[in-house]
């Protein structure tokens, strides 16, 4: 595996919606999945994976146009159902409306992927109260809103997957709010799992290392320090999507409150 150059512009997976073929498993036939932040990066890869395995997918994203485009792409690739839902996960009322719309449109809710997230890269002297509120609101509170709505809307068998980060375990300078939010999300995963069990639901988290998405390459530390990075240190959105799909599936029926690190064996110093 040779070196990988930093992409100059948009990343390829944002444009390509071809659903991978050749998979025999269709673990989500008849199910409805909401993916937050599903218009880009890891969320889009997860949406495509669920669609490829038979699910109807709601792409809930703050970027309404990108969500609609992503849903069009899923439908064009043969998804059983796809809808874009404009939703800011930090807005309680919008989250409630998103879950209600998914149930109204597709009749049921089986999986929620709390993937929407953002990172503020600033040293502590520059980090403002508003930075903290924004990061905690999207990366932590938004997941809580969806978990609460999902608990009410899901039948037994439902699954929630929270996309945290290796920053929850071991972080880098200039990521204080993000690392705290992701550590909080892992904690919330364990708390929610305790209450999920009695409802026949499961709640788990994935903790990706550096993944090749716009978020990674938007990170000024990555841009400044690493014109060329080792390909083995950077995963693909599909690597994370496969783990999300596993945790959402009946294959993981005995997996509850887990925090699954997906970083190629390297607690990475580069990524989101």
Give the residue with the Cβ less far from ligand NAD, 54 or 132: 132
State which H helix or E strand residue 205 sits in. strand 202-208
Least CB distance from residue 113 to ligand NAD, whole Å?
A: 10
Least CB distance from residue 149 to ligand NAD, whole Å?
A: 14
Strand order in the sheet with 56-61: 81-86, 56-61, 32-36, 111-114, 159-163, 202-208, 259-262
Q: How many whole angstroms separate alpha carbon 214 and alpha carbon 216?
A: 5
Packed helices 176-196 and 142-153: angle between N→C axes, nearest 10 degrees: 20
Binder among 13, 88, 110, 149 for ligand NAD (CB under 6 A): 88
Six-digit token pair at 41? Answer: 């990066």
Q: Are 206 and 161 in contact (CB under 8 A)?
A: yes
Give the residue with the Cβ less far from ligand NAD, 70 or 155: 70
Report the site for ligand NAD in 170-189 (rule: CB under 6 A).
Answer: none
Least CB distance from residue 63 to ligand NAD, whole Å?
A: 4
- Among 105-113, 114-122, 147-155, 253-261, which window interacts with ligand NAD (CB under 6 A)? 114-122
Six-digit token pair at 23? Answer: 């998979």
- Among 20-28, 103-111, 123-131, 211-219, which window interacts with ligand NAD (CB under 6 A)? 211-219
Q: Are 119 and 136 in contact (CB under 8 A)?
A: no
Question: Applying CB under 6 A, does 84 fall inside the site for ligand NAD?
Answer: no
Given 178, 185, 209, 222, which residue is catalytic? 178
Active-site residue 246, yes or no?
A: no
Q: Is 39 helix (H, G, I), strand (E, B) or coil?
A: coil
Q: Are 37 and 43 in contact (CB under 8 A)?
A: yes
Binder among 116, 150, 244, 258 for ligand NAD (CB under 6 A): 116
Count of residues in contact with ligand NAD, rule CB under 6 A: 31
Least CB distance from residue 56 to ligand NAD, whole Å?
A: 19
Q: Are 247 and 204 in contact (CB under 8 A)?
A: yes
Q: How many whole angstroms separate alpha carbon 232 and alpha carbon 218?
A: 20
What share of residues in the chain are helix, strand, coil (percent, to 5)?
45, 15, 35
Question: Applying CB under 6 A, does 149 fall inside the site for ligand NAD?
Answer: no
Q: Residues 40-59 vs ligand NAD: string with x where CB under 6 A?
A: xxxx----------------
Report the catalytic residues.
178
Q: Which residues bind ligand NAD (CB under 6 A)?
A: 36-37, 39-43, 61-63, 66, 87-90, 115-118, 138, 163, 165, 208, 210-211, 213-216, 271-272
């Amino acid at each position: 595996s040779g070196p990988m150059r930093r992409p100059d512009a948009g990343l390829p997976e944002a444009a390509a919606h071809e659903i991978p073929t050749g998979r025999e498993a269709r673990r989500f036939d008849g199910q409805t999945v909401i993916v937050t932040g599903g218009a880009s990066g890891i969320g889009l890869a997860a949406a495509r994976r669920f669609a490829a395995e038979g699910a109807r997918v709601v792409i809930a994203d703050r970027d309404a146009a990108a969500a609609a485009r992503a849903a069009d792409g899923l439908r064009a690739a043969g998804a059983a159902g796809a809808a874009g839902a404009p939703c800011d996960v930090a807005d309680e009322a919008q989250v409630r409306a998103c879950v209600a719309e998914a149930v109204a449109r597709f009749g049921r809710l089986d999986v929620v992927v709390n993937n929407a997230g953002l990172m503020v890269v600033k040293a502590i002297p520059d980090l403002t109260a508003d930075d903290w509120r924004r990061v905690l609101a999207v990366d932590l509170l938004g997941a809580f809103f969806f978990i609460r709505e999902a608990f009410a809307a899901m039948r037994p068998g439902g699954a929630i997957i929270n996309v945290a980060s290796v920053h929850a375990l071991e972080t880098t300078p200039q990521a204080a709010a993000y690392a705290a939010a992701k550590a909080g999300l892992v904690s919330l995963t364990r708390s929610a799992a305790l209450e999920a069990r009695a409802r026949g639901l499961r709640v788990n988290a994935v903790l990706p290392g550096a993944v090749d998405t716009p978020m990674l390459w938007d990170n000024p530390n990555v841009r400044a320090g690493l014109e060329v990075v080792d390909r083995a240190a950077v995963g693909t959105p599909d690597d994370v999507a496969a783990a999300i799909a596993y945790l959402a599936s009946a294959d993981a029926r005995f997996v509850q409150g887990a925090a699954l690190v997906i970083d190629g064996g390297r607690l990475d110093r580069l990524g989101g």
